[in-house]
Structures are given as structure tokens and as C-alpha cells.
Amino acid sequence: MALASFFLVSSCKKKNDSKPAFTETKVSLTTHKLASFSAIKNSKYLVVFESGLGNDHTVWSSNAVASQISSITDILMYDRAGYGKSENGPGPRNIDRLRGELESLIDKFSNGRKVILIGHSLGGMIIRDYAIKNPVKTAALLFVDSSHEFYSHPTQAEEDAFYEASKNANGANFGGTLEAREFIEDLQYAGTLPSLPNVPVIVLTSMKVDASTSSSAKQIFYNAHELLKNGVTDFTHIATTNSGHFIMIDEPNLVVNNLKLLISKLP
């Protein structure tokens, strides 16, 4: 299977507009502005949503995932640089830079609170890096079919095809196009990361077999996600055959209920 093509196809799902209940704020970083969408009532924890490659924040407002969580705790969504309403940012658009920009955004909204991070696909690697670099700021983690270096080993030719397909579809300055250029390097970077901090972790893995993914490939993907439990005493791994890569769209209640479970585990 061409892994890079898999992530491109799966990340270009049709997106819906954000719900009007969320407050839009432009956050100024040193080099550019990011568009954030939040519901803040000063709850104990802040839930932060991180999208996959090719998706802006609206992937979380599809099927009311974000709005259901905002009814019980503060939430923050945003568009990474080059997506949606955010400005373009400096390169390279790799995990290290994306995590750094996420840190800046969280610092603007957390007010000293710990965060619960949820990340889909490439977003899973971003929140993983954040948690490792900021263990005292991290309360819990939910990975939704996260990318993982144990599973993905694209060749340079596959990354090139991935990049060109995104550029042809969305333009050279689209955030997903620039992130696609760093895909191999991101996987190599993730392979150097130590274990997650010892906080509650839930991992959701799609085991639904389709024309692009065999059952054996899915098992390798599941095994890759199992590696996230190293050093974590409260670890839950849930496999689903009812969803494809976009679990939050195919099974929104699975995501919502497990976010609620994470929140219930915290003091």
C-alpha cells in the first residue's frame, strides 16, 4: 500500500463549517496569525483538538463532537498555518514547528490549567510531541487513528507523489501541502521521541478493512498504537471495525464518550 497516498486520501474528507457557538479569535504569533475557535467558561481543564494533515478545525465540528464536549468543559480548536482562516507560517512545516505553535496557542488560552489533548492522524504525532515536551501541562491524551512511525514507512517517491497530489489539489501554499513535504522527516523525528508522560491515555484505532488497507496492515497499525502504552499505567486501547480513518465522523459518539471517560478519570 502506498502509505503517503493513504494519508492524503483519508485526510481530504469533506469538511463542515464550525458551529456558531464557538468564539473565533486571531492569535498573533511572532511570524503569523492563527485562527482559533473556542468555548471558554473557565472549567478546570481545557480540551484541545488537533486535526490531521489536510484538515482544518471544522473536522471536529462535524457530527457535533466539539459542541458535545463544550457542554461539559472548555474547548479549543484552531486552524494550523495555511489552513482555513489562519495565515501562512514559516517553514519547514514539520512536527517540531507545529508543536511549538501549538504550545503558543495553548499558553494563550489555558490560564495555567492543564490540557486534555485529542489528536487525529498527523495531529496525534503533534500532541504526542507536545505531551512529551510539556508533561506538567498535560492532563490526558486521546489519540484518534494517529499516525505512527512503526506503521508508516513511505519512500521518497511516495512522499513526492503525496506532495504533488496535495499541491495540484490545494495549491503550493496550502498547509497540508507544506506538511506533506515533511512526512518522512516527521516519522523519523517521532522515532526519536521518548515515552509519553504517565497520564491517562486512550487510543482509538480503525480496524475497518477497505480496498486500500488489508487486515494484516491494520494489525500492524494496531500494534504500532500499542507502543504508546510504554510507561503509561492508565492506558486504554479501543479497536473499531465500524469506522474508517475518520472515526470522529463515522462514530462521533465513540470519540465523545471516550473524551468524557478521560475527563472522569481526572481529579
CB within 8 Å of 120: residues ≥ 6 apart? 50, 51, 52, 55, 59, 144, 145, 146, 246, 247, 248
User: Range of 253's domain?
Assistant: 3-265
What's residue 213's pLDDT? 84
Q: Which tens digits make up the pLDDT trace of 53-110?
A: 999 999 999 889 999 999 999 999 999 999 999 999 999 999 999 999 999 999 999 9
Q: Which tens digits make up the pLDDT trace of 24-34?
A: 999 999 999 99
DSSP, residue by residue, 207-267:
---BTTB-HHHHHHHHHHHHGGGTT-SSEEEEEESS--S-HHHH-HHHHHHHHHHHHHH--
Q: Which tens digits make up the pLDDT trace of 135-165?
A: 999 999 999 999 999 998 999 999 999 999 9
What CATH number has the domain bearing residue 133?
3.40.50.1820
Number of structural domains (the chain) is 1
The pTM of this model reads 0.94
